[in-house]
Structure 1
Amino acid sequence: MPPLRRRSSSDLWACARQVPTAAYRRLTMQGIDWVSQGYVLACAETEIPNDGSIITRGINGRTIALARAAAHGKIVAFDSRCPHMQGPLKFGRVVDGEVVCPWHFLRFNTATGETVGCDSIMHLETFAVELADGNIYVGISNNV
């Protein structure tokens, strides 16, 4: 068995989904450079259902949940696991700006990450989302 090799930051960056060159040129020509601001391409806007269903994407070694709120169409991004007992939020649904843990029915505001309907110190990690050129970019280093 070969010896284990320590991964460098360049290895991790190579694993992240990269912005296609043509799209990157268009973004920077518009004066917006989301990539240099810590945003990573998550998916095409068309991949996110309109009914509040949640999809997940691996971004920079993390699993991020993405959904479109059915009421107003805003796309949100948050940690794919409930902070309580790591329940898989991808089996939940976003309704009225809230996601419900399918294991314990704890509700979180998808914009702020705060619990809804109870006092709790648990906080769901949320991420900034930008739409550009038909693609969804998630701000991993720009947490909301």
Structure 2
Amino acid sequence: MRVLLIKDVKGLGKAGEVKEVKDGYGNNFLVGKGYAKVATDAVLRQWEASKRAKAESDAYEVAQAKSLADDLAKIKLEIAVKIGANGALFGSVTKDEIAKALKDKGFEIDKKCLEFDSIKTPGEYEIHAKLGHQITAKFTLSVKGE
């Protein structure tokens, strides 16, 4: 029996491979548990079509992330915060505040993607944003006192 593996199966192969297995193992375990499908021509064509669609989708996402990274590199974000008598901030600048300031500038970036050291004094800081597909963007944040 020929099967197309949908998930990785230890000792047999990786997802996407076509394997020849015994009928009982193929029907009862692999197909029954959802690890594989019977390798008919229609199933193989559908698998190839889904692989092509995923590759196109990934290429589009990478292009979008690179474009966003280029746009972010050009901006300089400013945040005004309250400052105490000793020159330090009351609290610190948070990811929420930076994400909101980015949204106000037209950039929709999740706060979980932002990386920086804690910001407790006024000045300029470099912020890194992970955009997916191993693409990161850097932009400058200027913290000023009110």
More strand by share: 1
Instruction: State the structure with more CA Rg.
Output: 2
Q: Same fold (TM over 0.5)?
A: no
- TM-score (norm. length: structure 1): 0.25
